[in-house]
């Protein structure tokens, strides 16, 4: 999954989640911590079955990227 409104289906509605810039930065940082933890977990678990890896890591990564873009646009005033 790639979170980018340019890749949506024709006439597919856009969803907006409103939060302050500070809240968005906190969510971004929390997702970064979670993804960092997962990277370490995956490295330590490399010789074992992937059944213990949490689901949704790719979506969390894409959401974090989308938040970074939105935060950057908000800071620039776009």
Which pLDDT belongs to residue 68? Answer: 95
- The pLDDT value recorded for residue 52 is 67
Percent of the chain with pLDDT over 70: 91
**DSSP annotation string for the chain:** ----GGGSPTTPPP------HHHHHHHHHHHHHHHHHHHHHHHHTTTS-GGGSPTTHHHHHHHHHHHHHHHHHHHHT-
Distance between CA atoms of residues 42 and 21, nearest Å: 31
For residue range 14-26, list pLDDT tens digits in order.
888 999 999 999 9
pLDDT greater at residue 7 or residue 63: 63
pTM of the model: 0.78
Q: What is the mean pLDDT of residues 22-38?
A: 95
């Amino acid at each position: 999954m790639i979170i980018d409104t340019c890749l949506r289906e024709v006439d597919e509605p856009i969803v907006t989640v409103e939060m302050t810039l500070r809240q968005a930065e906190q969510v971004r940082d929390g997702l970064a911590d979670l993804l960092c933890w997962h990277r370490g977990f995956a490295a330590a678990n490399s010789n074992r079955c992937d059944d213990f890896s949490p689901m949704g890591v790719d979506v969390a990564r894409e959401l974090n990227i989308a938040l970074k873009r939105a935060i950057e646009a908000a800071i620039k005033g776009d």
